[in-house]
Amino acid sequence: MRMRRVLIAIGSMVLLAAPVLAFQPSAGQGQFVPIDQLPPADQLPAAPLLITAYAFVWAVLMFYLWSIWRRLGKVEVDMRALEQRSANRNRAR
């Protein structure tokens, strides 16, 4: 009886081991493959990356210039409003 249980346990383990082994991930990469050896379809085109990089520089600089211009404009508007308020107060006196 005891022997039978041991055999069932071993058999179950063998049966379970098969799918576990079957779904093991493949072995890790042993060495890196330089990108020039890949087929041309897998290679990234350089021109869009270069153009994107240069366009980003321009876009960021233009945005920053616009942001300074906007902030400066707001300060000037506030200053004019303040001057107007002071002038009105002086006139009222």
Partner 1 sequence: MRKLFTPLSVLVALMFIYAPVMIASAPYESTMGLVQKIFYFHVPAWMAMFTAVFVCGIASVVYLFRGKQAADRVAVAAGELTVLFGAIGLVTGPLWARKAWGVWWQWDARLTMALLLELIFVGYLLVRKYGGPGSDKLAAAMAIFGMANVPFVYVSVNIWRTIHPLTTVVPTLGTSMGPRALAAFWFSALSFMLLFALLLTLRVHLEERRAELDRLYLAEEE
Q: Is the dihedral of CA 61, 63, 67, 70 positive or negative?
A: positive
Instruction: Determine the Cα–Cα distance for residues 11 and 5; give it in Å rounded to an integer.
Output: 10
Binding track over 43-72 against partner 1, x by CB under 8 A = -x-xx-xx-xxx-xxx-xx--xx--x--xx
Instruction: Determine the Cα–Cα distance for residues 21 and 10; give it in Å rounded to an integer.
Output: 16
Q: Does 36 bind partner 1 (CB under 8 A)?
A: yes
Contacts with partner 1 by CB under 8 A lie at 35-36, 44, 46-47, 49-50, 52-54, 56-58, 60-61, 64-65, 68, 71-72, 75-76, 78-79, 82-83, 85-86
